[in-house]
Every structure is written in C-alpha cells, then in structure tokens.
C-alpha cells in the first residue's frame, strides 16, 4: 500500500493543507487509489516541537513514504534564530536527503484568469511553460561556503558554484524526456531551452557542453537552444510563449521560476514537483507561508490542490484522478469563485471566497 506524508508547515500551510488533504482523500476513495496518509512536521512547527526544522522522525517518515505533500514553511517568528536551524534549512535538507534533484514548475495561464497577469493578453494568453530546475547542487550546496575575516579585518562572504557532468546529465534527461511527453500531448515539436551563464562562469560552460552532448547522443529529435540567464529573465516578460521547457541550475532556476510564476498573475495557483531518480516526489505550492494572511481564511488553496494532481500524475502514474482534480479547479474558476489573490474587482460575476469555501467548491465538483 502506498503512503503519502503530509507536512502542513507554517503560516497558511495548515489551512491550505486541510483543503488539499480533503481533495486527496476524496479522489483516493473515488478512484480506489489505496493511498494511506500520514502526518509530520517541518519548518517552524518542527522547531517549536523538536528544536530543529527537520526532526529525525519526520525524515524517517519521509524516507518511508512514496510521496510527500508539503504546505509551506517559515515566518517572522523564526527569522531571528540561528541560520543553520531556520525553517528554510529544513526544506533544503529534506530535498537533499531524499535526493529530490529535479524541480518541476509549470507556469500555466488559466484562461479564466487572463486579467490577473500584468502582461498584455496577447503576450500571455495560452501560456503553458515548464521550468525544470536542478535542486540539490550548484551554488546553494557547494563548498566551501561561509563568511570569513580577511587579514585587513574586513569580512568576506563566499559560496561555490559546482556541477559535475553526472548531475547535469541527470537533470538534462528529465528535461528532454518531459519535452518529448509534452510535445506528444500537444502535437508540437519537442524543444528545450537550456539557461546558463557560460560567457562568465566555467561551471555553466560545462553545463552547456554537457547538454549539447546529451542532445546529440540521446535526444537528436528534441530541439535544443541555449540562453544566458539575464537574457532569459528579459525574454520571459517580453515573449514567454517562445519557451516550452526551460532547464537550468539551482540558482537561475530559483529566480526564473518565480518570475514565470508571476507571469500568470498569481503564485497562489502554481504547483510544483520535486522528483528523485525513481519517481518519488515531494509536491508543494510555489508560494511561501504568506504570514501576512495566515489564520484569516484568505489563502488560495488551489496551488496545493493542484500539487496533489501533480503527485497523482508523476509518482502514482494515475492520470485520470490528476485530470479530474485539474478539471474541478477549472470548473470552480468557471463558476466565478475567486480568493483575494486572483480576484479582479473590475470583472463582473465573480464571488470572493475564502480558503475553506474554495476547497469545498473543488470537492463538490469532484462529486
Ligand atoms: P510568500 O509566497 O509567502 O508571500 C508573498 C505574497 O504572496 C504575500 O503577499 C502573500 O500573502 C501572497 N501569497 C502567497 N501565497 C498565497 C496564497 N496561497 N494565497 C493568497 N496569497 C498568497 O513569500 P514571502 O512573503 O517572501 O515569504 C514568507 C515566508 O515564506 C518566509 O518565511 C519565507 O522564507 C517563506 N517561504 C517558504 C517557501 C516554501 O515553504 N517553499 C517558499 C518561499 C518562501
């Protein structure tokens, strides 16, 4: 029997998780998926209980589970504590302990929310872009790192950006494979854009060369292009529909995926998946713990609910239940239900709802 570990986390985490778990339980029953749900803590909640952001019992449960569903971690309460045990460290650690090296973020514009984007409709309509980010290497994990005092007494901060060929090949394969799957589903040509800074960073020169070799040896049918990270930032707002799959390292991926998220108008709509080599994954919304609205029933639970759909698709290979959830989300948007983050006061026929009501509406659509 397969197990899903839920980690609600902090801030709006428990509110959005309640709604996502209700949806997961409903599809579990409806489609007889046979999933068992377990709970654990991570981030600030774990610091409060166990003194560390990723307690050993949580890690054990996560290792034993087939998939992990996460809300969000962090908040002002823990901002002042020592850096090495801050909530976000728990997140970085669980990703690396589980070997979740591939982060997938879809930036998709729901037609019902076309007005939510700050870009003109003709630039953004129909956007459906996938960013594949390397998650367990690069500058966020490279050693040496730290802050040291120089001979003249001045302080110097330093980090190291490192990638081995095997790490680049591993993430490259994920991107090439997904480009093929998406192309087949959409009836288009498969293409990926590899983002680097090969003009100034040797580590990304190796990245670029490795992607070229991979394409030539294993994926000649997939079109491969390259773009410098700074240009990619500009192109994402100038003409985002030129991209289908973007693949990049940890730091550039962090920045580009947040930028892509904003193209769609609300970070409250965007799910993500982080996968290991065997398809085990951690699924979470792209947003953080939103302390400014926590506990007020204002959070949009749809990104977490859509993360459940990703989990069913990528880890449990159950397309029908994944598609059912996505359809239910689209249906509630069609009905005009909106949480505050996706509300457009100029549009008629919309109803402002809270987190709970939005979750219940999705459940009702699922029947
Ligand atoms: P954030 O994503 O939490 O919030 C940014 C803005 O978006 C806020 O105005 C918030 O109210 C809004 N927002 C976010 N999610 C929403 C939702 N579901 N519905 C409606 N509105 C939503 O980013 P931040 O303010 O930079 O960070 C807050 C905390 O979250 C920090 O402690 C940060 O470290 C943490 N964080 C955690 C994760 C994670 O757990 N994966 C990711 C990013 C930030």
197, 208, 280, 365: the active-site residue: 197
The 10s digit of each residue's pLDDT in 158-204 is 999 999 999 999 999 999 999 998 898 788 999 999 999 999 999 99
Instruction: Tell me what the mean pLDDT of segment 73-87 comes to.
Output: 93
In percent, the amount of the chain with pLDDT more than 70 equals 100
258, 276, 335, 344: the active-site residue: 258
CA of 292 to the centre of ligand 1 (A): 9
pLDDT of residue 344: 86
The 10s digit of each residue's pLDDT in 243-293 is 999 999 999 999 999 899 888 877 889 999 999 998 899 999 989 999 999
The 10s digit of each residue's pLDDT in 324-341 is 999 999 999 999 999 999
pLDDT category at 208 given cuts 50, 70, 90 is very high
Looking at every residue in the chain, the average pLDDT score rounds to: 95
pLDDT of residue 29: 97
Q: Which domains does the chain have, with CATH numbers?
A: 1-105+287-367 (3.40.718.10), 128-263 (3.40.718.10)
Instruction: Tell me what the mean pLDDT of segment 215-234 comes to.
Output: 98
CA of 9 to the centre of ligand 1 (A): 12
pLDDT of residue 89: 93
d(CA 222, CA 319): 24
User: Does residue 254 carry a catalytic annotation?
Assistant: yes
User: Does residue 163 carry a catalytic annotation?
Assistant: no
User: Does residue 140 carry a catalytic annotation?
Assistant: yes
pLDDT of residue 231: 98
d(CA 332, CA 358): 8
CA of 1 to the centre of ligand 1 (A): 34
* Ligand 1: nearest atom to the Cα of 16: 18
């Amino acid at each position: 029997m397969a197990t899903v570990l839920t980690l609600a986390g902090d801030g709006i985490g428990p509110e959005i998780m309640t709604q996502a778990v209700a949806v997961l339980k409903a599809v579990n029953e409806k489609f007889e998926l046979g999933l068992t749900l377990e709970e654990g803590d991570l981030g600030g909640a774990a610091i409060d209980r166990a003194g560390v952001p990723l307690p050993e019992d949580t890690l054990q449960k996560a290792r034993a589970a087939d998939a992990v569903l996460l809300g969000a971690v962090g908040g002002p309460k823990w901002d002042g504590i020592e850096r090495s045990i801050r909530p976000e460290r728990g997140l970085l650690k669980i990703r690396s302990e589980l070997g979740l090296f591939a982060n997938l973020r879809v930036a998709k514009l729901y037609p019902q929310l076309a007005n939510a984007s700050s870009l003109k409709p003709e630039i953004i309509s129909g956007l459906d872009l996938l960013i594949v980010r390397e998650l367990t290497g690069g500058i966020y994990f490279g050693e040496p790192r730290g802050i040291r005092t120089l001979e003249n007494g001045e302080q110097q901060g330093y980090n190291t950006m490192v990638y081995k060929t095997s790490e680049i090949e591993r993430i490259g394969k994920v991107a090439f494979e997904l480009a093929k799957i998406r192309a087949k589903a959409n009836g288009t040509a498969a293409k990926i854009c590899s983002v680097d800074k090969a003009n100034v960073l040797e580590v990304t020169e190796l990245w670029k060369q490795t992607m070229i070799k991979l394409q030539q040896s294993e994926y000649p049918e997939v079109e491969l292009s390259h773009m410098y990270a700074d240009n990619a930032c500009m192109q994402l707002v100038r003409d985002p529909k030129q991209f289908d799959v973007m693949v990049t390292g940890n730091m550039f991926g962090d920045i580009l995926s947040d930028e892509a998220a904003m193209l769609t108008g609300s970070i409250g709509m965007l799910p993500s998946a982080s996968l290991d080599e065997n398809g085990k994954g951690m699924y979470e919304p792209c947003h953080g713990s939103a302390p400014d609205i926590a506990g007020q029933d204002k959070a949009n639970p749809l990104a977490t609910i859509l993360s459940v759909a990703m989990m069913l698709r990528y880890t449990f290979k159950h397309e029908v239940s994944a598609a059912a959830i996505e359809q239910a989300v689209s249906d509630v948007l069609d009905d005009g239900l909106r949480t505050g983050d996706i509300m457009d006061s100029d549009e008629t026929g919309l109803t402002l709802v809270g987190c709970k009501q939005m979750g219940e509406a999705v459940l009702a659509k699922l029947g």
